[in-house]
Structure formats: C-alpha cells, structure tokens
Amino acid sequence: MTTDNLSHVPVTEWAPLVPELTVSDLARSLDIYTRLFGFTLNYTRPGFAYLSLGRVQWMLEQAQADGGWQTGPLERPFGRGINFQMVVPDLDALHDRLVDAGYRLFRPLSSETYMEGDTPHTQRQVLVQDPDGYLLRFTD
C-alpha cells in the first residue's frame, strides 16, 4: 500500500453508521479484508482505509503511538464483547475463499434460526476473527 490517497470505487451513498476499527497492521488487515473477506477498497490515505461490501461500509485505522482515540489499552483480541453481523452478497464464495486459504473459522458455516417474538428467521452464517481478533459474522 502506498501513502498516496487512492479512490478505487466512489461511495455514492454514505451509511448512517460506519464502524472504524483500530488495527495493528493496516496493510495486513487490508489484504485480508479485500482478498479473503471480499471488501472493496473505496478510499485510503496514510494510516486509514474506507471499505465496502455490498451495502456494508467499514473503516480501518492504523493504531497510533499516541493512542489516537483509544479509550483504553489495545489487547488481543481487539473488540472483546462485540460481533459485527454483515449481510454479504455471496456467502458461499466468501466461505470458499476462507476455506481455500486455510483461514481459521471461529464458527463453521451453519444455518441458525433466531426468534423475533413468535416469528422465526433463519439465516446461514459463518464467523471469523480478523487479524486483530474482531469477531465478524457474515450472513446471507
């Protein structure tokens, strides 16, 4: 990754909520997020990247020596107590890329039914941790 600003695919509509994850190695995270997880790099500047996957929008920021906006020490796994559920355009293709690359699955591809009152909702999902340990739940 160069330090030049890059715009690959312009964002035409900004999501009202966009997680920004602090990462220990931005280049490594960008590789995993684009090559394996299937995200598109929309924009980057030194120490920062803006990504999307379908309607999901996502930001990654390189951890800063001065702590930046960190509210406490970063200890692996990052993001303890949170998981990010994302509906993805092609769960099977994502799963195949992960398996082919030997990427560790936190939970294997499965179908789960969740109740909303008396209404069951079934979805397929696979859970992985990104390079820093953030828990990602990809669904269809």
**Position 91 confidence tier, pLDDT thresholds 50, 70, 90:** very high
* Burial grade of 21 (CB within 10 A; 0-12, 13-18, 19 or more): middle
Architecture of domain 6-64+78-139: Roll (3.10)
Helical H segments across the chain, by residue range: 26-31, 91-100
Please state the pTM of the whole predicted model: 0.88
**Percent of the chain scored above 70 by pLDDT?**
94
Find the mean pLDDT for residues 9-33.
Answer: 92
**Mean of the per-residue pLDDT values of the chain:** 92
Query: SS3 helix, strand, coil % of the chain, rounded to 5?
Result: 15, 40, 45
Q: Are 98 and 36 in contact (CB under 8 A)?
A: yes
**Position 2 confidence tier, pLDDT thresholds 50, 70, 90:** very low
